[in-house]
A and B are shown apart, each in its own frame.
Chain A
Amino acid sequence: MATRDWLGLKEELPHRRKVLLTVLSFLVPFALWCAVSYIPWLWHPNVRITVPGDVDYFVEDMDLPRADFERELAKVKAAGGTLPEGIRVNPVYLPAPHRVARAFYTAFTTEPRLPNEPWLHQSLGPSIRTILWGFFISSLFGVPLGILCGSYRFFSKLQEPFIEFFRYLPAPAFGALCVAILGIDDGPKIAIIFIGTFFQQVLVIGNTVRKVDPALIEAAQTLGARGWKLVRCVIIPAAITDIYTDMRILLGWAWTYLIVAEVVGTMSGITFFINQQARYRNFDNVFAAIGMIGIIGLTSDMFLAWLGTILFPWKRKHRSRKAKPITISMVAVQNRGEENPAETKKEVPAAEPASEIVPLPPPPTAADASTHQVST
């Protein structure tokens, strides 16, 4: 019964429904956008003049609020001149889907207005480079520090209180300082991404590492692991998949700092492109560029998810099946499945050898047979 329920609490949905809902999650906002764009009586607060008529300041292709148009229309009617005509349109900052779709293509083919302005694809390069450098440098220090904080009380107490304080300082506030120290080129931009990422990273990874099952650590201790080996051979591998997930979320945060970072110093990258296009009122290009950030983010995350299933084969539920990328929103569901032994048990009908009490083969270590034989 429960599987037929669309709204079963924490209930796993059948595959087809999941696909359907995934498609809908994109389709619903898109349909809303289409509705507002194409249904003329929905919103459309402006009027675009097609025939200026006898209003002296009306020109063709001019947009003005509907109320103003009605007022002028009434005036002309009363005076008895040629009536102006117009169609209802949305403001220029909300282009229709087909125009944005076209911009996705034309943005790559239209030459920039000024010779020293970048093409769209040229502006994406520096943005991606800035993100990757910022994230790389942050991870270089943040991941080891997070692991140390999660593993040892000493580092946790030594580092985390200050980091806890620092993470509340908004990264953009350091913009001017970064420019003063690092110049106006890429340095301060990378620094902003670093500041935005690093402090969260240490805390998040520290927390993940602290959540490693203590029973695994105890088991390793009784097998002779201690000190640094315990961290290297048990704590890190036990936490690595969760750290990987954290990193994917953090990379998403790094993207959100990008726009702020690129305003610092000389404006560059995708931000420069967006601002420039907005200035020319090419809002279809603006939407195309923003959409492109989303697409780059989502595809890179899906790539990382797929990479995760290659890197961590033990996370795959069924090895026979093809590796399936797990999006961030699915991670929690998957972990829940693992923590519940009853649930995993059901899924593993791994055949226990049918004849259970097989005579055991001779022992690998020669039991001291002569004197201490257990009498049977």
Chain B
Amino acid sequence: MSLATLELPDYHEQSPEVAARFQRIKERPVVLTVRDLRKSFGPPGHEHVVFDNLSFDIHRREFITIIGPSGCGKSTFIRIVAGLDESCGGEILLDGRPVSGPGPDRGMVFQGYTLFPWRTVKENVMFGLELRGKSTSTAETEARQWLEMVGLSRFEESYPHELSGGMKQRVAIARALANEPRILIMDEPFGALDALTRCKMQNYLLQIWKRVDVTIIFITHDLDEAIYLSDRILVLGVNPGGAREFIENPVPRPRSVAQLLSPEFLSVKARLDDLIHTPAGEDEEDKLPVIKMTAAGDEVE
């Protein structure tokens, strides 16, 4: 809230370089189209609508982050994109073709790592390659290249339980990318990591993304992470559910930690803060009923 009191530029303002970059992005072909997507739970008549009329395009090699308060359906949305959940209406087109069911063209990285514990690191990366019918030796060579890319060559014969959380997630990223998916979907992939590892992983991810032809949809609940990584930020809301805003991120690339305090960064952050934290009626829930269980005069503040 204190951010709002600072003199900040309008987050719509883009420097010429950033504006030119968005121009170039928009000229690229559309990879993913979401059209009138709707999802609701519960019996007809008493439905809880998670989102409705969700429509947007994502261009090739864009980095999209999705942010929103808990219960806004961000995970539901990407699970639908990944084909793990069904939508209740509308459609999703990948390269112009409607998607149904999960497939290797949409790679996914989960928060819980989900590495196969019975396979070594290398064999985990080989999994998708083998399914696509590549010979063991080809799969092995390619897996090694991907592991080199995420900097884990030394650990190719290790089992997942022998790795730290950050390393596991890098294997998961390598495993998803080895399939050469059109888009890489990441569901709060760094949510379980400590702050320091998380920061490193963000930089890793940006480096990887620069080198690979892949479009990324990244879910997070961390405002800084959302801004630091993205080209555009999709903000989802609750009550009513759906897209609040699709923000073009004015922070120039390449990104560095120093930008966390730049005016552009702060202006976007202030906007995200506004969008996420002020839905009507939520304030009441913020304050707990006052029941005091300590002696008078024993104040912590």
B contact residues around A312 at 8 Å (CB): 118
Shortest Cβ distance from A144 into chain B, in angstroms? 19
Given contacts A221-B102, A360-B151, 16 further A-B contacts (CB under 8 A): A216-B114, A218-B84, A219-B116, A222-B102, A222-B106, A224-B104, A237-B118, A314-B159, A348-B163, A357-B200, A361-B148, A364-B149, A372-B28, A372-B60, A372-B213, A376-B254
- Does A332 have its Cβ within 8 Å of any Cβ on chain B? no
Shortest Cβ distance from A367 into chain B, in angstroms? 5
Binding site for B on A (CB under 8 A): 213, 215-216, 218-226, 229, 233-234, 237-238, 240-241, 312-314, 317, 319, 338, 341, 344-345, 348, 350, 352-353, 356-365, 367-368, 371-372, 374-376
- Does B117 have its Cβ within 8 Å of any Cβ on chain A? yes
B contact residues around A338 at 8 Å (CB): 161
Q: Are B131 and A233 in contact (CB under 8 A)?
A: yes
Q: Are B164 and A350 in contact (CB under 8 A)?
A: yes
Q: How many A-B contacts if CB must be within 8 Å? A: 141
Residues 148 to 200 of chain B near chain A (Cβ within 8 Å): 148-151, 154-155, 158-167, 175-176, 179-180, 185, 192, 197, 200
B contact residues around A358 at 8 Å (CB): 151
The answer to whether A375 and B253 touch (CB under 8 A), given A218-B84, A360-B207, A361-B149, is: yes
Q: Are B253 and A348 in contact (CB under 8 A)?
A: no
Task: State the 4 A-B residue pairs at the shortest beta-carbon distance, nearest first.
Answer: A224-B104, A364-B145, A219-B114, A363-B211
B contact residues around A344 at 8 Å (CB): 161
Q: Which residue of A lies closest to B167 (CB)?
A: A352
Interface string of B107-139 (1 = CB under 8 A from A): 110101010111100000001100110000000
Shortest Cβ distance from A19 into chain B, in angstroms? 26
The answer to whether A362 and B118 touch (CB under 8 A), given A374-B253, A375-B24, is: no
Distance A71 CA – B168 CA, assembled complex (angstroms): 82
Shortest Cβ distance from B153 into chain A, in angstroms? 9
Distance A363 CA – B128 CA, assembled complex (angstroms): 18
Distance A42 CA – B4 CA, assembled complex (angstroms): 87
- Which of A218, A219, A238 has the most chain B CB within a 10 Å cutoff? A219
Of A241, A350, A361, A371, which one neighbours B162 at CB under 8 angstroms? A350
Q: Are B84 and A223 in contact (CB under 8 A)?
A: no
- Does B263 have its Cβ within 8 Å of any Cβ on chain A? no
B contact residues around A226 at 8 Å (CB): 101-102
Distance A237 CA – B148 CA, assembled complex (angstroms): 27
A contact residues around B83 at 8 Å (CB): 221-222
